[in-house]
Amino acid sequence: MLRRLLRRVIRSAKLLNIDTPIVGDLMATVRDAMGPSYPELVSDFDRINRIAVAEETAFNRTLASGSRLFDEVAGTTKAKGATVVSGSDAFTLHDTYGFPIELTLEMAAESGLRVDEAGFRELMAEQRRRAKADAAARKHAHTDLTAYRELVDAGPTEFTGFDELASEARILGIFVDGKRVPVVAHGSEGQAANGDRVELVLDRTPLYAESGGQIADEGTISGTGSGGSARAAVTDVQKIAKTLWVHRVNVESGEFVEGDTVIAAVDPGWRRGATQGHSGTHMVHAALRQVLGPNAVQAGSLNRPGYLRFDFSWQGPLTEDQRTHIEEVTNEAVQADFEVHTFTEQLEKAKAMGAMALFGESYPDEVRVVEIGGPFSLELCGGTHVESSAQIGPVTILGESSIGSGVRRVEAYVGLDSFRHLAKERALMAGLASSLKVPSDEVPTRVANLVDRLKAAEKELERVRLANARAAAVNAAAGAERIGNVRVVAQRISGGITSADLRSLVGDIRGRLGSDPAVIALIAEGENDSVPYAVAANPAAQDLGIRANELIKPLAAAVDGRGGGKADLAQGSGKKPAGIDAALDAVRSEIAAIARVG
């Protein structure tokens, strides 16, 4: 509301042919008139005045361009004999040029026209729907990117990070949650609060914006300008329209005002790690092609301090020998201390030199080429790199996996992270050697022997369990109970046997009970509270109307399970061991009811 009021004041001044800034003088008048009732106008006047003056400057630019465009729209509308500015025209004024709908309505009324507000609102709603659908794919999911249009049109951000880690810069724009504001402060009501997304756009910066697989630099933006001393931590840097660097920050102290001069600085440790990761990616790429051949084509990459991943086209997993060879070639090139040379060249000439380009990526006519060790690695790349390959440090490949049909991924640590990983692995190996009481180089053999022995022991245990279960089955057949004229074995079996073994036992007992009507119901106590069970009915029992697939229903209900089968054999599994006794009783009751009928 205050912004709308301020904008109406600014436009009214223009209608009175006042072309010089007036808000500063008006704010002083407001302070004098309303200060007694609102003391904060006096105590915080300097900051309030800066915000108002910055808003006047920004809105005057919008008003100048938007008024011309509105006059064109109004003229075209009248020329058609119409009296309504279309919703589409109003939307274009707002969406593309930042012209507020309230101002369009006001100016239309002054021109004897109306505005199709319903059409405008529908287009706004459609834009929001599109933005919501696209949110997952965009780094600036909640930002109206047209807010940056003026800055994009003003020209690209100058990137200074190839030559320096700190640069003096001017704040071109400030955004809080996607809305442009003239000033942002730490902890001030109405300004950046916890959780707000604050973005600063500078005319130049040494902070690398995420691109080409390299994540953004971290660092700081600080200064002592019209807003006093201020500092912000840079947590991310993204590109808008490929030319505008947007710094996502946490304001830690002070306030930033549009137009202020600041110092943007990269965290040296972060940049060192980032260059190691990016140059390491080039080294791994070159080693992959040397070991696997030219068909190993890059399909993507990601590098951050201490870590890299590289995706490439390849059918099937790498062998252990191939992986080891790639790691060796990479580290040999690192140890060779190759010079890293960067230069710009015409795209076609760079390709003719053999520079690798990412398939499907669009490149400008003039490209940046990164050369490591002459013929070893030559790639088109806009990222930051070490000065010589030895600065990368050791490269340790962590693993290799499939991420899609015909695409593999290699992951690796570089530099100190590689060393820390190797130290951790060494400590782990030393611990295993101590526990196994063998030298480190004998650990793999000893572990393999232990695994073989464990498998043999598990197999023997399974054999003993099954033998015991079969012995119990023999005893069960001998001691079968009678329900009517049906011989019945309904028992709980000790755990540790599989469903297949249980089915085999049921068949074994059924064979031992001869030709008299017989029913067998066995329930085992499985692992993790599972309750496998099986029910069998021989032909004589089926002649009496007793069917296994019917008997299993009350059994399954008692143990909270499911199952099915045929008249002669049915099986299933439950998850309620406490219901086993009730399940066996349910089977007996069902047989008794049928046997009496029979």
Structure tokens at 394: 């050791």
Q: List the beta bridge partners of residue 565.
A: 570
Radius of gyration in angstroms for the set of CA atoms belonging to the chain, rounded to a whole number:
39
Q: Binding site for Zn(2+): residue ranges?
A: 278, 282, 381, 385
**Nearest in space to 50 (alpha carbons), one of 329, 302, 260, 319:** 260
Query: In this structure, what is the dihedral angle of CA atoms 155, 384, 141, 402, given to the nearest 10 degrees?
Result: 140
Sheet of strand 569-574, all strands in order from the earlier edge strand to the far edge: 481-483, 486-493, 518-524, 531-537, 569-574, 562-565
Structure tokens at 158: 């100058």
Structure tokens at 184: 């942002």
Q: Binding site: residue ranges?
A: 278, 282, 381, 385
CA 93 to the chain's CA centroid: 35
* DSSP letters for 566-583: -SSEEEEEES-GGGHHHH
CB-CB neighbours of 348 under 10 Å: 10
367: Cβ–Cβ under 8 A, 6 or more apart, which residues? Answer: 344, 345, 346, 347, 350, 355, 380
Q: How far apart are CA 533 and CA 411, in angstroms?
A: 47
Q: Are 92 and 86 in contact (CB under 8 A)?
A: no
Q: How far apart are CA 81 and CA 146, in angstroms?
A: 32
171: Cβ–Cβ under 8 A, 6 or more apart, which residues? Answer: 200, 201, 202, 256, 257, 258, 259, 260, 261, 262
Residue 361 backbone dihedrals phi, psi, to 5 degrees: -85, 140
Q: How far apart are CA 584 and CA 577, in angstroms?
A: 12
Q: Are 87 and 118 in contact (CB under 8 A)?
A: yes
Structure tokens at 553: 């229903």
The count of residues in the chain is: 598
**Nearest in space to 466 (alpha carbons), one of 496, 490, 499, 492:** 496
Distances (CA, A) of 228 to 47, 73, 311, 413, 477: 10, 44, 47, 42, 94
**DSSP letter (8 states) at residue 498:** -
Element (DSSP H or E) covering residue 276: helix 268-292
Angle, vertex CA 230, rays to CA 226 and CA 233, nearest 5: 140
Q: Are 510 and 536 in contact (CB under 8 A)?
A: yes
Structure tokens at 21: 């800034």
Query: In this structure, what is the dihedral angle of CA atoms 384, 389, 395, 397, given to the nearest 10 degrees?
Result: 70
CB-CB neighbours of 279 under 10 Å: 29
